[in-house]
Structure 1
Amino acid sequence: MTMDHLRRNFLQKLVASAVVVPMLSPYRALADADPASTGGNQGTTLRVALMGLGSYAARVAEAMQSCKRARVAGLISGTPSKLQEWGTKFGVPEKSRYNYENFDRIKDDPDIDAVYVITPNALHRDQVIRVARAGKHVICEKPMAVNAKEGQDMVDACADAGVKLLVGYRMHFEPKTLEVVRMRKAGDFGRILFFQGLCGFRIGDPGQWRLDKALAGGGALMDIGIYAINGARYMVGEEPVWVTAQQTKTDPVKFKEGVDETIQFQLGFPSGAVASCLSTYQMNHLDRFFMTGEQGFAELQPATGYGPIQGRTHKGELTQPHATHQTIQMDEMAGILLDGNTPVVPVDGEEGLKDLKIIDAIYAACETGGRQELRLG
């Protein structure tokens, strides 16, 4: 059986099994908390089950060993050997280890508060809905889904179940990124005029799931271009109202139908600010954000890698200390889920849904060659 058949059988099997910080963080990732919504859980630990034990989940699990308010408390995988190995390594008892067929049983596991879904994009919708119906909070890796319709289904399911849905936007807690956001809010750059986001690398193994439309939902835009989309929004501080885009494909064998290789896209904002962005799986050395306003500028390069992020503004170098992104993210998400804290830059399902609407519009613009209007609310 070919790798493509194996991946598709795996996808079909999983879909078929679906049910229809005690104080403000030193990284300033949270806005002032609502006193009425905090206090009851301060000091408690967020107990997280990791779903999909691949390379990024391993990075998250290792980073969580340094968390003050979050710990690995459950595991969900289709590979029994991984459940055994990870369970031993991270101290997860057998009763809190699940596979994709039986993880609905987390409903009866009092030692799990939330599930972090770290699986291929096309699986997110059904898995998040199952977790919500089991009564657990959800953290979902970005992109939240493969299109806005699926994302809306997820937002609605979590709302119906009375659980919170967060998206793994680690950059929303990164210190230098937050300093640029703070400066923009303080008016240090004046009226924002232009943003540029360059995101890309040469992707390797042609057989990986990220190059399979059925699992990834697209190509570079879904995986890496979303950083420029999301970054344009939090750097400029507005929601875009239109998008144009152009697609280039030089290797149709590696990048099959529906899997984008390189897309250039432009965003327009209500104030008149514009963004010019590049998303690619065919070029290295692309990880840069640049923004300019009437009174100053900000540059982050690297802007979205695992760190350390480096940056400067018209006032000089950014010197905030580096800390492991996933450690900060999980501690701050504990504050959001347990204490009702409000992050400076949102990480909820509605935030993820906005990015999906923009992705849908970018693909439509590539297809039609025309400008797409956006209404993100």
Structure 2
Amino acid sequence: MSCGMFDESRDVIEYHPIPLWITPFFFAGSYMKKRIGKTSIAEHKKTLLPSDEVPNYFSQNNLFARLTYLVFWYLYVMLETPRIILYSLKKKPDLFYGYEVYGARVASIAGRILRKPVVTRFQGTPLKINEQRNWNTLYPHGVLGLKSKADAVIMANDGTHGDAILERLGAPKEKIFFWHNGIDINFVINTQHGEELEKRYDLNKKTVLLSVSKLVLWKRVDRAVWALSALKTDYGVNNAFLFVVGDGTERAYIESLAVKYDVSDSIHFAGAVPHEKLWTYFTLADIFVILQDVGNLSNQVFEALSFGLPIVSLDDGSTTGILKNQYNALLIKKQNIETDVPRALAMLIKNKKMREGLASRAKETFASSVCTWEERMEREQKLLNTLINNEHKTSY
């Protein structure tokens, strides 16, 4: 929720986050939304099957919550835009950079009024590509933000089909820069922590599965827990162990599933883990599991590839260009989750040669297709400089 300004001549980037005076409105709205603006999904969870899809974040919001978002969006844009414009008359920036659906509209308006190039950037989108008829109803402020006029729109390629959604909202294809995020490859492995975990869970005798994500319902970590149970009951695999790294609103629910499926002794819930300890879990893992309802191309997938982990995920179109079935991953059709996820895991656990082949090609994929954050930001810097030096600046 921010707007930035770039001054090439002085090599200065100014960052303008949400103003302090607006925060009381933000927190009041957020509190009320949580209290009365959410549609309960408690009943949904009682009957949730691995093959089911859950309501996404915004479809859980009732009318009050959606109006709260929309009112706050208009409030922010109407009050922040004139402030940025007046400030810019003094600072004379070369470019406006709007981040996410709030900052994007402010940067867009300021740039057009002051005749400066505009870049907007989005970290994926919660909109579903096949539910266009519901976009304005479920996510009205988000649609307005995504439609902000710009000379370049940077959309993270995280598997949520943001490029296609931008095109449907009117963005010219040539102005969309659909880039993967970079990752930090300067790993510092905490060997002591790894040795402690190996000893505590006797990992030398086990095949280690790894899940890394926020524990919210649509991330579907429940599928990994269920699959661990299916490995035991359907395939006689008793040496699998699952690390669940991450925290969130559904942690208690997912932990209760471990008890329900009788696999508590085969799971370690690590909670939120700092980066200096996160890499330890990747070094201990044999297989990476990501089975989200939406967008299975998170940064954790790139990190798993960098560590040479074979990946079990969904064949939902979100990982195209990075994950390839039977090459560096085993990809499962959504309609076959209940049969094929445990089958794929059992195959990898029992077939070490297959696992090692996928692992080797995972590293090759990382080397050829994934950039570091330094490389990713160099690409963006080049784009910004091109826009600044272009004499004919026209936002769509």
- TM-score normalised by the chain length of structure 1: 0.32
Normalized per residue, the structure richer in helix is 2
Normalized per residue, the structure richer in strand is 1
- TM-score normalised by the chain length of structure 2: 0.31
Larger-Rg structure: 2
RCO comparison, higher one (Cα < 8 Å, 6+) = 1
